[in-house]
Amino acid sequence: MVQAFHYSFDMDNYMTKERFSQFREFASARETPFLVTSLGIVAKKYDELKKSMPYANVYYAVKANPTEEVLRLLNERGSCFDIASVCELDLMLRLGVNPGRLSFGNTIKKARDIRYAYERGVRLFASDAESDVRKLAENAPGSNVFFRILADGVGADWPLSRKFGAQPDVIFENILLAKEMKLNPRGISFHVGSQQLDVTQWRSALKTCKELFDAAGKKGVELDLLNMGGGFPAHYTHPVKETCVYAAEITDYIREFFGEEFPRVIVEPGRYMVGDAGILVTEIVMISNKERESGIPWLYIDAGKFGGLIETLDECIRYPIYTDRTGEANDYILAGPTCDSMDLLYEKNPYRLPSGLREGDRLFFFTAGAYTQTYSSVFFNGFPPLRSYVID
Ligand SMILES: *Cc1c(COP(=O)(O)O)cnc(C)c1O
């Protein structure tokens, strides 16, 4: 059977046909490109995670989709938040979120930003460097600190490897230093890489956590906090295991290393929470053939790398694309509308879409609720930032 789009409504319980009609109705009167996020789907994702990991505290990673309505909804449901900057802190405080429910999860911080957060009531910080521990001790005295270990990001479609975290021996020294400097070393964190498809990556990270808990314990520092970061997947073109399957396996790993006495567990989902909730609606600007005989046609749309689709870098994230056209499928190279030649979406691995596509047709990028709107450029080439709407 020829597949005219990369999405099967039956496969997935978030984007049902009914929900999609709701999106489409909202989208019909608006000019493309834009993002629409469904609050109903975000709520469902949050509830499902809480149900699958009732012992975990959810700290939503604000950067994934900082739309106010999304943040308000999660706040009402009892979520805490992982913030990375002074601006995200101000946003959360403006929405009335108690600073006790915020975690400053960015390991790269200026001393004055640490102080700013501390003065406003933030008492939980991530750290992965000696210099940062010293800055924390001076500007956020007595605060709770968790220490981030390196994870290599193997198995992740969007790895965060190398930049964050440090080797366990460095972390161990930092824990002792923090204690000495009268901070409150609480635990260990890691991030297995975003869109992590290999659940066993949590196991190796948890093993290292346990080793550090034990080593610190021997020096009289009792750690009790496990921050398992993000990495839980959204539904792109690759099939992924359901949330409850991930959760059950991860819970088993925790039990394997920590026994029945779980430490306090934090998860920081970003992509998982909002990815499936968004659709980025685009229009075909031009279809062209660059060679007379053979060659794959180019399909230029009105959103690209600078219009919210930056995660197509290296063709890492492959969004399911829906079109109303049906019929025989053809390979297409997809590109954005700007005058930068890196504004290409999929060339190495072209997309199969119906051969009847015409300029002016709409392409719906599913699973676009995470890492799109705030990643769009301010005004490159005169294209405004991606507009963003929410629906119930
Ligand atoms: C970005 C980020 C997350 C969210 O990661 P996802 O893979 O989107 O779930 C969680 N924690 C930290 C510290 C982050 O920087």
Instruction: Indicate if 13 and 146 belong to the same structural domain.
Output: no
Give me ligand 1 centre to Cα 289, in Å: 40
Let me know whether 83 and 122 are in one domain.
yes
Q: What is the CA radius of gyration of the chain?
A: 22
Q: Is residue 109 part of a domain?
A: yes
Instruction: Please report whether residue 214 resides in a domain.
Output: yes
Exposure of 311 in the CB half-sphere (CA atoms within 13 A) = 25
Residue nearest to atom 10 of ligand 1 (CA): 230
Amino acid at the residue 18: E
Of 221, 243, 273, the residue at which a domain comes to its end is 273
* Within-domain flag for 245: yes
Q: What pLDDT is attached to residue 366? A: 94
Interval between CA 125 and ligand 1 midpoint (Å):
15
Residues 62 and 194 in one domain: yes
Pairing assessment for the beta strands 362-365 and 278-288 based on DSSP bridges: antiparallel
Same domain, 99 and 189: yes
Question: How high is the pLDDT of residue 10?
Answer: 57
Say if residue 269 is preceded by a cis peptide, omega within 30 of 0: no
- Of the residues 273, 300, 335, which one is the last residue of a structural domain? 273
CB atoms within 10 A of CB 246: 21
The answer to whether 146 and 126 are in contact (CB under 8 A) is yes
Strand 194-196, strand 156-158: pairing: antiparallel
| Residue 1 counted as domain residue | no
User: CATH code at 355?
Assistant: 2.40.37.10
Q: For 228-268, what is each residue's pLDDT tens digit? A: 999 999 999 888 898 999 999 999 999 999 999 999 999 99
Both 15 and 57 in one domain: the answer is no
CA-nearest residue for atom 13, ligand 1, is 105
Same domain as 330, residue 295 = yes
Q: Is residue 280 part of a domain?
A: yes
Asked whether residue 88 falls in the same domain as residue 187, the answer is yes
Predicted TM-score (pTM) of this structure: 0.96
Contacts of residue 311, defined as CB under 8 A and 6 or more positions apart, other chains included, come to 158, 317, 371, 372, 375
pLDDT of 7 reads 61
Question: CATH code at 62?
Answer: 3.20.20.10
Task: Say whether both 188 and 203 belong to one domain.
Answer: yes
Atom in ligand 1 nearest the alpha carbon of residue 273: 9
In a domain, 28, yes or no: yes
Q: What is the pLDDT along the chain (392 residues), one digit of tens a residue?
A: 334 455 666 555 678 888 999 999 999 999 999 999 999 999 999 999 999 999 999 999 999 999 999 999 999 999 999 999 999 999 999 999 999 999 999 999 999 999 999 999 999 999 999 999 999 999 999 999 999 999 877 777 777 767 899 999 999 999 999 999 999 999 999 999 999 999 999 999 999 999 999 999 999 999 999 999 999 999 998 888 989 999 999 999 999 999 999 999 999 999 999 999 999 999 999 999 988 877 899 999 999 999 999 999 999 899 999 998 988 889 999 999 999 999 999 999 999 999 999 999 999 999 999 999 999 999 999 999 999 999 99
Q: Which atom of ligand 1 is nearest to the CA of 275?
A: 8
Between CA 111 and CA 104 the distance in angstroms is 13
Do 110 and 173 lie in a common domain?
Answer: yes
* Distance between Cα 28 and ligand 1 center (Å): 33
Which ligand 1 atom lies nearest to the CA of residue 195? Answer: 7
In the listed set 226, 247, 273, which residue is the last one of a domain according to the structure? 273
Is the CB–ligand 1 distance for residue 229 below 6 Å? yes
Q: Are residues 224 and 311 in the same domain?
A: no
Contact 387, 366 (CB under 8 A): no
Distance CA 90, CA 70 (A): 16
CA angle (273 as vertex; 272, 279 as ends), nearest 5: 90
Output the CA 194–ligand 1 centroid distance in Å.
7
Residue owning tokens 């990991």: 53
- Tell whether 192 and 73 lie within a shared domain: yes
Can you give the pLDDT at residue 156?
A: 79
212 occurs within a structural domain? yes
**Residue 80 sits in which domain range?**
41-273
**What is the total count of domains within the chain?**
2
pLDDT tens figures, 155-211: 777 777 678 999 999 999 999 999 999 999 999 999 999 999 999 999 999 999 999
pLDDT at 327: 82
In a domain, 14, yes or no: yes
Instruction: Assess whether 77 and 15 both reside in one domain.
Output: no
Distance 329 CA to ligand 1 centre (A): 36
Instruction: Find out whether the beta carbon of 45 lies less than 6 Å from any atom of ligand 1.
Output: no
What's the gap in Å between 143 CA and the centre of ligand 1? Answer: 22
Nearest to 308 by CA among 232, 383, 255, 242: 383
Contact between 278 and 367 (Cβ < 8 Å): yes
